[in-house]
């Protein structure tokens, strides 16, 4: 028995009786109506998968307008219901017009029993698929809202911060490509997310790609995806980041680190608005809002032939320069309090407070590592200090404390070493990695591991 609910609407009761005999054992439930005015109530109480709808209900009227009226009404109530139009042979052109209005197919009178049954079963499968797709879309929207709600939001009260947010309010509702410049650790990724949250794509995915961590071998498979068997380790199909971002926003961080070969591949994808996964001959259409970020001077890189000028034009319809923390020093106390509340809760040190002297010392610091440095400093203070009150002596803002003097776990020591190296080199990951005698990829992996 087919697991479907069928509603048949026809003013000819002999037709309804004949169809009841034919179809009663073929579907989970069969509902018949001779009065179309009952359609809304039945749809909202019985939830049919398919409606077999007559084109005409008034005697001597064969325009099909009544059928099209009820077709539109059904689709308004539930777009996932599949509607088949029931029509006489001479009204085929009318049924074709109905299909333009959203009908799935039409069935001719007199009907062929086997063909009618097969058509209804196919329509049930299509309806179930539509319902599942609608359900998944609702779930996706819910998950996106939940993720956005739990993500760290960009915050500030300073004049410099307010100025940049005024520009964001104008740019975000458009689909213009945005290039965000600024020093390491100043909040470029948070600004990118804020643009997404204020855009018309906010209910769709926000996909981040750290280009600084991709080598040329990984670039295509990560951005464009691949098909099973495309290379030795391709055991299954994998969607690329660009495909995943379809309908939403793609954020490419550290775009200034791309090699010229990777720049060409990215530029082609952006210009053509399509990608071809590795191992596939079928191109996929792209519909993305592009946001990029860099701490490198792209204009100087162009002069040195290290960055393509045409790619720069493609990505910087709007350029936003994120101010450094020293240019928004009024935000230091506000941000420090946010970080203190977060980390004191995370490490079960609720109730920790900062003295006025501690805050003044924070405000006097130059913050070469920007917000990331402030965040790491507060986290370190919460972890290492026994007292609930953070005073100047708890700060160790220059990082003079020896790692060897810390008696925590190996992971805590490793995390502290990474934090100090990053802060020392003002967010330059290559230099920090060299000091730690590890690769830049390893330092990125460690940062991901420790949530840095």
Average pLDDT over residues 118-130: 90
Just give the CATH number of 2-133: 3.40.50.2300
283-318 residue pLDDT tens? 888 999 999 999 999 999 999 999 999 999 999 999
Indicate the DSSP class of residue 326.
G
Separation of alpha carbons 221 and 218, rounded Å: 6
Q: pLDDT band at 104, cuts 50/70/90?
A: confident
What's the confidence (pLDDT) of residue 300? 94
**What is the average per-residue pLDDT within 57-86?**
82
Mean pLDDT of the chain: 85
Q: Count CB neighbours of 215 within 10 A.
A: 10
% of the chain with per-residue pLDDT over 90: 46
Model confidence at 125: pLDDT above 50: yes
Which pLDDT belongs to residue 405? 41
Question: Is pLDDT above 70 for 257?
Answer: yes
Contacting residues for 380 by C-beta, under 8 A, at least 6 apart: 396, 416, 419
Radius of gyration, CA atoms only, the chain: 31
Q: What's residue 62's pLDDT? A: 61
Query: What mean pLDDT is predicted for residues 435-451?
Result: 77
Q: How many CA within 13 A on the CB side of residue 222? A: 17
**Number of Cβ atoms within 10 Å of the Cβ of 306:** 15
Contact criterion met (CB below 8 Å) for 132 and 138: no
pLDDT-wise least confident of 215-224, 237-246, 261-270, 408-417: 408-417
Per-residue pLDDT band for 63 (boundaries 50, 70, 90) equals low
What are the tens digits of pLDDT across the range 402-435? 333 444 455 666 777 788 777 777 677 777 887 7
Alpha-carbon torsion 199, 200, 203, 208, what sign? negative
3-state secondary structure of 233: coil
| Position 237 confidence tier, pLDDT thresholds 50, 70, 90 | confident
Q: Which of 349, 377, 352, 353 is nearest to 363 (CA)?
A: 377
What does the pLDDT average to over 148-164?
80
User: Residues 7, 85, 104, CA angle at the centre, nearest 5°?
Assistant: 90
Q: Residue 90 has what pLDDT?
A: 59
What number is the average pLDDT over the span 322-335? 93
pLDDT over 60 at 169, yes or no: yes
Q: What is the pLDDT of residue 59?
A: 58
pLDDT value at position 433?
A: 80
Give yes or no for residue 244 having a pLDDT over 60. Answer: yes
Token pair 């073929």 is found at 26
| Residue 289 host element (H or E) | strand 289-294
pLDDT for 33 beyond 80: yes
Specify the domain boundaries for CATH 1.10.8.60 within the chain.
325-450
DSSP 54: E
CATH of span 325-450: 1.10.8.60
Crossing angle of helices 13-23 and 113-150, rounded to 10°:
80
Residue 404's pLDDT is what?
39
Mean pLDDT, residues 269-274 taken together: 93
Looking at the chain, which residues constitute the CATH 3.40.50.300 domain(s)? 151-321
Judged against a pLDDT cut of 60, whether residue 146 lies above it is answered with: no
Q: At residue 266, does pLDDT exceed 80? A: yes
Which CATH architecture fits 151-321?
3-Layer(aba) Sandwich (3.40)
Rounded Cα distance between 324 and 368, Å, is 8
CATH 3.40.50.2300 domain extents, the chain: 2-133
If you average pLDDT over residues 182-210, what whole number do you get?
A: 92
pLDDT(140) > 80: no
The pTM of the full predicted model, rounded to 2 decimals, is 0.60
> For residue range 376-411, what is the model confidence (pLDDT) as tens digits?
889 888 888 878 888 887 765 444 343 334 444 556
């Amino acid at each position: 028995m087919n697991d479907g609910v069928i509603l048949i609407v026809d003013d000819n009761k002999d037709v309804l009786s004949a169809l009841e005999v034919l179809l009663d054992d073929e579907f989970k439930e069969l509902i018949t109506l001779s009065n179309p005015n009952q359609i809304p109530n039945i749809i909202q109480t019985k939830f049919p998968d398919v409606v077999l709808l007559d084109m005409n209900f008034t005697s001597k009227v064969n325009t099909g307008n009544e059928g099209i009226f009820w077709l539109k009404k059904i689709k308004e109530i539930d777009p996932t219901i599949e509607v088949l139009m029931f029509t006489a042979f001479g009204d085929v052109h009318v049924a074709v017009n109905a299909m333009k209005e959203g009908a799935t197919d039409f069935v001719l009178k007199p009907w062929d029993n086997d063909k009618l049954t097969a058509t209804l079963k196919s329509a049930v499968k299509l309806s179930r698929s539509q319902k599942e797709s609608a359900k998944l879309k609702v779930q996706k929207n819910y998950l996106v809202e939940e993720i956005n709600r739990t993500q760290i939001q960009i915050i500030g009260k300073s004049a410099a911060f307010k100025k940049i947010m005024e520009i964001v309010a104008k740019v975000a509702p458009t689909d213009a490509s945005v290039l965000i410049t600024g020093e390491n650790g100043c909040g470029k990724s948070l600004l990118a997310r804020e643009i997404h949250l204020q855009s018309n794509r906010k209910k769709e995915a926000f996909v981040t790609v750290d280009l600084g961590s991709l080598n040329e071998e990984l670039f295509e498979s990560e951005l464009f995806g691949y098909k099973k068997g495309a290379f030795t380790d391709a055991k299954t199909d994998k969607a690329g980041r660009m495909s995943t971002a379809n309908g939403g926003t793609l954020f490419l961080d550290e775009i200034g680190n791309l090699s010229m070969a990777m720049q060409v591949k990215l530029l082609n994808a952006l210009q053509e608005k399509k990608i071809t996964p590795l191992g596939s001959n079928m191109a996929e259409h792209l519909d993305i809002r592009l946001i990029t970020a860099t701490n490198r001077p792209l204009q100087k890189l162009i002069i040195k032939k290290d960055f393509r000028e045409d790619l720069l034009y493609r990505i910087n319809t709007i350029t936003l320069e994120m101010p450094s923390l020293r240019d928004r020093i009024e935000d230091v106390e506000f941000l420090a309090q946010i970080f203190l509340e977060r980390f004191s809760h995370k490490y079960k040190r609720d109730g920790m407070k900062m003295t006025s002297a501690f805050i003044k010392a924070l405000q006097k610091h130059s913050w070469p590592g920007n917000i990331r440095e402030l965040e790491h400093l507060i986290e370190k203070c919460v972890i290492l200090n026994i007292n609930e009150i953070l005073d100047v002596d708890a700060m160790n803002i220059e990082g003079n404390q020896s790692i060897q003097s810390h008696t925590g776990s190996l992971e805590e020591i490793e995390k502290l070493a990474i934090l100090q190296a990053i802060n020392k080199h003002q967010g330059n990951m290559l230099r920090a990695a060299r000091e730690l005698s590890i690769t830049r990829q390893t330092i990125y992996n460690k940062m991901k591991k420790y949530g840095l």
